[in-house]
Amino acid sequence: MEMRVPPILSDLDVCMPLKEILMIRRAVTFVLLTCLGGLSPGVLAVANESAGRYSVYPRVVATVLTLAPRGMATIQTSDGARYEVVRGTGWQVGDTVTCEHRATGRPSWQALECRKTS
């Protein structure tokens, strides 16, 4: 006849140590705050801040003079001003482009955003 003794459970086997509980609480709090912060209207407003910035300058019609090998192009407006801009796809020397001034705070070669019109 064999007698079985049930195992004795100590407090360490049943409960998690306090340090682990505190770490889990911190992780859950961090995840919840991150999710709530990402969905807040303030973050969406900052992300959409640039939508209200538009050019107050008139559009400029220019002709492509040269195409540089590194993706740049030199254009000349109808009043004779020359600009160096980022070249668009399919541009060739002699093409007519329409350019808009971008918001301030950019390097000079990003000051105009141009699109091919002919």
What's the gap between Cα 30 and its chain centre?
24
Whether residue 39 is predicted with pLDDT greater than 90 in this model: the reply is no
Which CATH number applies to 60-116: 3.40.50.300, 2.40.50.140, 3.40.50.1820, 3.30.70.100?
A: 2.40.50.140
To the nearest whole percent, how much of the chain has pLDDT over 70?
64
What is the token pair recorded at 108?
């000079």
Q: What's the pLDDT band for 3 if we cut at 50, 70, 90?
A: low
Convert the pLDDT of each residue in 64-113 to its tens digit.
999 988 889 999 988 888 888 888 888 999 999 998 877 655 555 567 88
d(CA 63, CA 80): 10
- The predicted structure's pLDDT at residue 97: 92
Count of Cβ atoms closer than 10 Å to residue 17 Cβ: 10
Q: What is the average pLDDT value for the chain, to the nearest integer?
A: 76
> Where in the chain are the domains?
17-49, 60-116
Give the list of residues 6+ apart from residue 63 with CB closer than 8 angstroms, or none.
Answer: 75, 76, 94, 95, 96, 97
Q: Would you say 88 and 97 are in contact if contact means Cβ atoms under 8 Å apart?
A: yes
